[in-house]
A and B are shown apart, each in its own frame.
Chain A
Amino acid sequence: MEDKIKKVSIIISKGTLDGVYAGLIMANGARMEGIEANLFFAFFGLDAIIKKRMGKIKVATVGNPGMHMASLLGVLPGMSAMATSMMLKTMDKLDIPPVPEFIEMVVDAGCKLYACKVSVDMFKVKKEDFCPQVDSIITVGDFYEKAAGGEIIFI
């Protein structure tokens, strides 16, 4: 039998609903299996841990063939908000919480959250802009140190 996975370090680089949820579900699922988990938020993924943005993560209705609708419709005002709210309702029924509650849940489950230093500098955000569950702002080098001996997943 293959060796069991003992640790995963997941990079969330997208600020869209699908990007953020993929990372959170993978991290939470790891903890549920007793696997150590780190979440590293980079680039637009930072939105998921920025206090005033984390509750407003949306699904992309433009340039997203997965939506199965004409892109022209996707640009209409409120379209992204409507699609997002419909998806969140479905997810809530499956006990997949909204982003702020999900962040709290994975941290309570023992997952560690980190913000990417270069993204923080680029977007000019500060530690106090982040939700309190964020452990620290770390460099790529620090990330590799924390990820040592485990699997790395990039989203």
Chain B
Amino acid sequence: MPQKQIGNATIDVDADGFMTNLSQWTRDIAAALAKEEGIAELTAAHWKVIEYMQKEFKENGAVPTVRKINKSGVISTKELYEIFPGGPVKKAARIAGLAKPVGCV
């Protein structure tokens, strides 16, 4: 399994760079992954989405869909696309240390 060095930490990742062990995730790692995704700084809105997605992932074993995120009241679809430009669910899931989303919607 490939590994990736972030600062002093080593994380296990899959072929697409998604973390495979959520217990290795820290807020510093999230910030570093965000930079790779072109997000210079994670704001309160980003953290809210990240925390919600991690909670959902732990409960259901899957990354929530855009529709589910919108319905949760955490953030609107429009804002989600604004703060994670160029692919909201994929980017947010990667920053949150979750698996690559597998759904089509």
Contacts and interface: CB of A to CB of B under 8 A. Distances in A.
28 contacts: A25-B104, A25-B105, A28-B66, A29-B104, A31-B81, A32-B87, A32-B88, A32-B89, A32-B90, A33-B87, A34-B85, A34-B86, A34-B87, A94-B103, A95-B65, A95-B67, A95-B103, A96-B105, A101-B67, A105-B67, A105-B77, A108-B70, A108-B76, A108-B77, A108-B78, A108-B81, A109-B77, A109-B81
Interface in B35-83: 65-68, 70, 76-78, 81
A108 B82 CA distance: 10
Contacts of A95: 65, 67-68, 103, 105
Interface of A: 25, 28-29, 31-34, 94-97, 101, 105, 108-110
A95 B66 CA distance: 9
A90 B30 CA distance: 35
Among A32, A96, A108, which residue has the most Cβ atoms of chain B within 10 A? A32
A17 B65 CA distance: 21
A32 B102 CA distance: 12
A155 to B, nearest CB: 16
Where chain B touches its partner, the secondary structure class is helix
Contacts of A33: 87, 90
Interface bin, chain B: 10 to 19
Contacts of B86: 34
A93 to B, nearest CB: 11
Given A34-B86, A95-B67, 18 more contacts: A28-B105, A29-B105, A31-B81, A32-B87, A32-B88, A33-B87, A94-B103, A94-B105, A95-B103, A95-B105, A97-B67, A105-B66, A105-B70, A108-B76, A108-B81, A109-B66, A109-B77, A109-B81
A137 B71 CA distance: 31
A31 B103 CA distance: 14
Contacts of B90: 32-33
A8 B68 CA distance: 25
Contacts of B78: 108
A101 B68 CA distance: 13
Closest 9 CB pairs of A and B: A34-B86, A108-B77, A95-B65, A34-B87, A108-B78, A95-B67, A96-B105, A33-B87, A109-B81
